[in-house]
Amino acid sequence: MSGWDVSDADMPNIPGSPRADVPELPDGALDALLTGDLVTDEACAGLQPAAALLAALNAAPQDDELAGHARVLAEFRRRGLPARARRSARRRRRSLTSLTARAAAAAAVAATALGGVAAAAYTGALPAPAQQFAHGMIGAPSPQPSHRPGTPQPSHRPGTPQATPARTDAVGPDATGPAAFGLCTAYAHAKAHGTASQKAVAFRNLAAAAGGAAKIAAYCTAVPHPGNSQPGQPTSAPTHPAGHPSHPTGKPSSHPTPHQGRRPSSAPARH
């Protein structure tokens, strides 16, 4: 190849040749662009404006480009190495700390999610399959299509449980209608665990229906059981932990911990 010191016009224009109009770029010209030097090569002088773009391509890393570190490090720890035994105590302590933090965060999310979903479940506001599940697990009312409160606000989709019903503009279920029994159940449960928030829209409705927060208990004794023929909450006793949405903190032990040195040295042989 003779060509990068000749201009484009002087290059042979062979039809069909991929190099007909563009000569090879000398490596030195790219280096000059990368280092910010002026491109002295005449044929390549027109490339100069690209230098800023190349500089941006190689700009310092941004935070989101260094975000996957924990994941990769977990993989690094899992690989089979005799060096595992040499891990310093400092590092082990650090990983434990981060594990604990992550477990706590997971528990907090679970608590929020469970709280919101449980309230929805007790008021019968979940979609039918989810309501059926809640019925089985925590003794919430079974799903009844005719049973929907007409208000669309607390439409909890199971996939987004973080959307709690505590929005100020929410209307909440009608505490005088068929949802009353579920509300009463939820209220009793929440009160027993010290979480009966006066702010919850559903409970405010309940208080309004009862004629005041103090009268909720009396009101609820008068609310009829929805009268489904299924025997009353057989699941509440045996599968007890699930019936306590306000106590999800028992879970962190299920958090996957990266285990050490289990993989034999045959692992790296995979390609």
Partner 1 sequence: MIVVDSGRTPLGAILAARRAVAAVQKRGLHRSVRGGNGNSATGGRFRCQSQAVIGEDFPAVLAAAQRGDEDAFTVLWRDGNPALLRYLKVIAPASAEDVTAETWVTVVRGLDRFRGGEDAWRAWLFTTARRRAVDAGRRRSRRPESPAAEVGDGHWPAAADAAEVVLENLATRAAIAAVASLPPLQADVVMLRVVAGLDTETVARLVGRSPGAVRVAVHRGLRRLARIMTEAGVTR
Choice between 222 and 269, CB closer to partner 1: 269
Choice between 46 and 129, CB closer to partner 1: 46
Choice between 91 and 193, CB closer to partner 1: 91
145's tokens: 């299509």
Give CA–CA dist 4/27, Å, rounded.
Answer: 11
Least distance from partner 1 to the Cβ atom of residue 220, Å: 51
Q: What is residue 6's DSSP assignment?
A: S
Question: Given the rule CB under 8 A, which residues bind partner 1?
Answer: 1, 18-19, 22-28, 30-38, 44, 46-62, 65-66, 68-69, 71-73, 75-77, 79, 81-88, 90-91, 265, 267-271
Least distance from partner 1 to the Cβ atom of residue 93, Å: 13
Choice between 4 and 133, CB closer to partner 1: 4
Least distance from partner 1 to the Cβ atom of residue 258, Å: 12
Could you tell me if 141 and 125 are in contact, meaning their C-beta atoms sit under 8 angstroms apart?
A: no
Choice between 36 and 250, CB closer to partner 1: 36
Handedness of CA 79, 69, 108, 169 (dihedral sign): negative
Least distance from partner 1 to the Cβ atom of residue 217, Å: 53
Q: Is 205 left (phi over 0), alpha (psi -120 to 50) or beta?
A: alpha
97's tokens: 């700390």
Give residue 64's identity as a one-letter amino acid code. D
Question: Rounded to the nearest 5°, which phi and psi values hold at 238?
Answer: -65, -50
Could you tell me if 43 and 64 are in contact, meaning their C-beta atoms sit under 8 angstroms apart?
A: no
Least distance from partner 1 to the Cβ atom of residue 267, Å: 6
